[in-house]
Chains A and B, each alone.
Chain A
């Protein structure tokens, strides 16, 4: 896979749900990942989903996977101002040794 696509910006009000979308390229990727990057910080693994799953829920996070359309989404329930960050979608590279990241979606949560 060469290009993982994400929308670049999302703004939501505190308490609303956020949905960040991603289109990936490599249908053989066994796992798909969501990372969070706060300003000046490294990447933090938020959650991941195995490719044979359609959905995974982890507290406020819900990951949905549509393998047919190669579409991945991350839903954050009850979004808080502390959720403001850049969110990256990633797939395993063809070599299996690394990750291919999208350009990231910048989430802004307003009070």
Chain B
């Protein structure tokens, strides 16, 4: 068990470009979360999957953001037409437990939009 992994760890892009991040949860964890963390803030919830079903989306997740978990294993988060305000750390977490707080977090993908 290698923990939650995320790729890439860092991404620099120009405004207007599309970016995609990947999260590999701990194997057999059926619940997967995406959070966003900006400097000096706590993580903010973006979206939640149970298996392949996306059950909850935050109002923070504008229509430029899309997340998938096609086979109930890894997940991708895509941001289209990036804006400077999208610069943040994007954190993925997974768990097999029932409550949201029992999740294991990955190291995050740090995005910088120039």
Contacts and interface: CB of A to CB of B under 8 A. Distances in A.
A92 B105 contact: no
Q: How large is the interface on B (under 10, 10 to 19, 20 to 34, 35 or more residues)?
A: 20 to 34
Interface in B59-114: 91, 93, 99-108
Contacts of A92: 99-101
A19 B79 CA distance: 39
B99 A93 contact: no
A33 B93 CA distance: 15
Interface residues of A, number: 25
A30 B42 CA distance: 20
Interface string A36-58: 00001111110010000000000
Interface of A: 4, 30-31, 33, 40-45, 48, 88, 90, 92-93, 95-104
Given A92-B99, A97-B45, A104-B42, 20 more contacts: A31-B101, A41-B107, A42-B91, A43-B93, A45-B103, A45-B104, A90-B42, A90-B101, A97-B48, A97-B56, A98-B33, A98-B35, A98-B45, A98-B48, A99-B100, A99-B101, A101-B44, A102-B42, A103-B40, A103-B42
